[in-house]
Chain A
Amino acid sequence: MLEFRNVTKRFETPGGQEVNVLQDVSFTVDDDEFCVVVGPSGCGKSTLLNLALGLVPVSEGQIIHNGKVVESIVSSDVGYITQDANLLPWSTVLDNIMSPLEIRGVPKAERRAQAMEWAEAVGLGKFVDFYPGQLSGGMQKRCSIARTMAYDPAMIYMDEPFGPLDAITRTVLQETLLNLWQTRRKTILFITHDLVEAIALGDTVIVINGQPGSVKARIPIPLSRPREIRHLAADTEFVELHTKIWSYLEPGVESMA
């Protein structure tokens, strides 16, 4: 379980002024919940994730991860999937997927087998000997998902992972992610600026808006699972949710864009 308690984050500008990026943010992510944080660019979404991972310290308030206050880099039982795939360009797809298993001291034969299994699961079975530079952006992203799933962390943080992809690839990958999550439940905190993605994936959508960013709404998504993302746009419930979430994003969006 992850809990934000009245978290405020301040940064100092090069001019020496203090600027609040996040203001009094409180919310919880339950175990096995798929929680999506959505907000316009510049509202502090990525900062929120960096705080949760302990990559940067909070200014006020507390973040509690599995009963412990986050004070330094969280590195036990968590996964992190970033906007760029961040693969090792000098390692093959299989070696990349194996690296977290190697860190955990899994014996070589076993980590090979596990990595192979995950490569198959994300559709990279034929490309295990390829180098990241030989893969398309979507395939690199698949590889980074497989790398994270391979060591089976209880919680995964995702920072706009599908942001740089084209719309078709994005939809396919969202479906892949949901299928993996359906078979192997995990707590996910997913950051995005894409409303459709937020509704399509999440159990809960947390809307962050404003400068400094603060929580505007916590909206449960009652859409039944499994979901067919490519056909969601025609669903009336989806359209209602979309309109509702937009209403929380509306104030101030014009000035930010």
Chain B
Amino acid sequence: MAVNLKRSSGGGTQVAVSRRRMLAWITGTGLVGSGVLSAVSNFVFIKPRATYGQPQRFSIGKPEDFPPGTRIALETRRICVVREGNRLAALSTTCTHLGCIVGLADTGFACPCHGSRFDADGTVTGGPAPRPLPWFKVTLAPNGEIEVDKDTEITPGSYLTL
């Protein structure tokens, strides 16, 4: 204490003040910085790295399970499988408006929650839905089963030719 006093009076006050200021800056930055870091790490923590729901990529069976003319909703997978002749596709049945499950209707799809309507290709024909129903990538796996990848959306109208 005494040493400090002597220095500040003898060695020039400016040096003492700037040292104090610098220490205050370091302390302040350290505290604020660690506060921000821990706040950010909270978000990193609550953002799951692995999710426990259904897999986004799955097999739906052999092509024979879906004879030509099929239009069937796989409700647990939230997709609708369409087969016309040799062509097959999978459309999402999750409404693009607020995530309800659209039902199959004569004219295409209809959402029970807020009345959005889609035609058979998933194009919006009425209601508040902002986007058409996405089409998912469909491939034929080597074991002959049809595989749907819900992580990859494809251009509406592109079918898998069997």
| Binding between chains A and B | no
